[in-house]
Structure 1
Amino acid sequence: MPALSLSRRAALGAFAAAMLIKNANAQSNTTLRIGIMSGEDEDIWRIVSTNASKSGLTLKIVTFSDYSTPNQALSEGDLDANAFQHGPFLKAQSEANGFKITPVGNTYFAPMGLYSHRWKSLQDLPPNASIGVPNDPSNEGRALLLLQTLGILKISSSAGLLPTALDITDNPRNISIRELDAGVVGRALTDLDAAVVNTEWAQKAGIDTIKERIGEETLQNNPYVCFIATNAKDASAAWVKPLVSAYQQPNTRQALLDVYHGAIVPAWT
């Protein structure tokens, strides 16, 4: 076989180098489908998407209008990750549906609040008042535990993080608990004395989350911090850390404070 000329070898070397660069770029440019709740969170994820692009990630944001489907979509492979839930909610859904989904990085803490159009404080809340709570297991449990923390009623210690109205052991004010869909309970506030509402649904319902709040959770030792989640098999994928890092940036922190007007707290250090 005749020897290659210097020019020919140089050309082949340049071609090989170009192919290596092309393959490296192809591997670093990853498109991810991320499930989030529609609304204000879309503004947050536009910033996260810009951050992620600097690490070679292209984010395709898929929005949902209810809590019941994002984990199903993730489990079935229609999403690569989602970002909308806290631990007790994921635990309840996983036990009910057999999901193998795991948290990979904290996002924010959305304090669940007790709101009222009629009453200015807890002390004003009358006997026999009606209080709305979300009816899905984790959020109803969270709401009832908040009412216990606020001294309105007491819950059986055996109920853990998922109590229902049947676990109420002491109700001195004879409060009536109204179980409603999480997306409805805030809009029903005009027909109730008060309601425990997730922050995002409160804002969508037009509730003033500062002026109409008569009770609220605190972040310290709170199990309800939200996070980015993936299928367990993807938890160590090369794109996970860059995705989490794209969220946990100073510009995202500021956007959370601006978009949610202080009603949501960034949950990473």
Structure 2
Amino acid sequence: MSLGSRLKTILGGLASLALVGALVACGGSAGSGSTDTADAAADKTITVGASPSPHAEILAQAKPLLAEKGYTLDVVEYDDYVQPNVALSEGDLDANFFQHKPYLDDYNAQNGTDLVSAGAIHFEPMGLYAGKSSSLSAIPDGAKIAVPSDATNEARALLLLQDQGIIKLSDEAGLAATKNDIVENPHNVEIVEVEAASVPRTLSDADFGVANGNYALSAGLDPSTLLASEASDSVAAQTYANVVAVRSDDADSEKTRALIEVLTSDQIRDYINENYQGYVAPVF
């Protein structure tokens, strides 16, 4: 092979290498751009775990409002009260919306996690419903009043009865009250303790019943039978308001701020007030 031929061969090889390098570089650039686009999209997606009702329903109303801020809201529904916190702790969710602060605090204590409340949204008030009797101004002597048997909800029920002047509790009872803390009972009412979800079904046998809002809603209780409910500024409402939980590092993130801003907007307040007939009440 002549010297000229050898030079042509060498130069041709170098050109081929240069072409391959250029193609690889272009491919790398395209791949990086695709990754950057995916990362940007993920950063604008807020994934929230929630109970179906009313939490996921409320979040559905928040979707278009978040879209106006440039965020996509992805709601993952859960039927239990454990997995939403597990998923949040493990980073599968950006937030969850299903629990009140005492439950969240207990979960952290039991599991060594550091989940925090980013904001309180609503609570599901205890309501006093008519049963065989329908007037709080003419309570029969010895009237039977069904209340939830679990400690937390029984205390809330008794505090509601106290607010209506039906009984009086000892001053120190508070949110730990039981029927043993009743110090005044002018109507000699009988407090009948039943499982919380069963209260609506006992109203045909009791004069009155105090039920959780979610159980009253699921049982289809007629709103006209609601005689009184916990006020939105009550101790119970402030204590047991349902919160949006996030990891502590994300408490002040842009996503969290956007989510809370929308969930505490006038539009969400109006939706809650107009659609849940007092079974669910905003606290903001």
Aligned counterparts of 2:192 and 2:249: Cα–Cα separation in 1 = 39
Q: What SS is found at the alignment partner of 1:169?
A: strand
| Equivalent residue, structure 2, for 1:214 | 227
Q: Larger helix proportion, structure 1 or 2?
A: 2
1:208 Cα offset (Å): 2.0
Q: What SS is found at the alignment partner of 2:176?
A: coil
Aligned counterparts of 2:246 and 2:181: Cα–Cα separation in 1 = 33
**RMSD across aligned C-alpha pairs, in angstroms?**
3.6
Q: What is the TM-score when the length of structure 1 is the normalising length?
A: 0.76
Q: Does the 8 Å CA contact 2:48/2:75 hold for their aligned counterparts?
A: yes
Partner amino acid for 2:167? L
| Equivalent residue, structure 2, for 1:77 | 87
State the Cα deviation string for residues 211-254 of structure 1 (Å, max 9, x = none).
21222222235441423232553552633222222322333223
Compared CA separation, residues 203 and 216, structure 1 to 2 (3 A)? same
Q: Does the 8 Å CA contact 1:86/1:223 hold for their aligned counterparts?
A: no
Compared CA separation, residues 236 and 88, structure 1 to 2 (3 A)? closer
Aligned counterparts of 2:201 and 2:274: Cα–Cα separation in 1 = 24
Residue 261 (1) aligns with residue 261 (2):
no
Q: How does 1:7-26 map to 2 (within 5 A)?
A: 18=33, 21-22=36-37, 24-26=39-41
| Equivalent residue, structure 2, for 1:184 | 198
Compared CA separation, residues 130 and 45, structure 1 to 2 (3 A)? same
Q: Does the 8 Å CA contact 2:116/2:248 hold for their aligned counterparts?
A: no
Q: How does 1:1-269 map to 2 (within 5 A)?
A: 18=33, 21-22=36-37, 24-30=39-45, 32-36=47-51, 38-53=52-67, 54-64=69-79, 69-70=80-81, 72-77=82-87, 80=93, 81-87=95-101, 93=106, 97=110, 101-209=115-223, 211-225=224-238, 226-230=241-245, 233-234=248-249, 236=251, 238=253, 239-268=255-284
Q: Does the 8 Å CA contact 1:88/1:161 hold for their aligned counterparts?
A: no
What are the ranges of 5 or more consecutive residues in structure 2 without an aligned counterpart? 1-17
What are the ranges of 5 or more consecutive residues in structure 1 without an aligned counterpart? none
Question: Across the two proteins, how many residue pairs are aligned to each other?
Answer: 257
Aligned counterparts of 2:96 and 2:38: Cα–Cα separation in 1 = 28
Range 200-209 or range 213-222, more displaced: 213-222
1:263 Cα offset (Å): 4.6
Q: What is the TM-score when the length of structure 2 is the normalising length?
A: 0.73
State the Cα deviation string for residues 110-152 of structure 1 (Å, max 9, x = none).
3322111322221222121111112232221111111111111
Q: Does the 8 Å CA contact 2:56/2:77 hold for their aligned counterparts?
A: no
Q: Which has the larger radius of gyration?
A: 2
Q: What SS is found at the alignment partner of 1:161?
A: helix
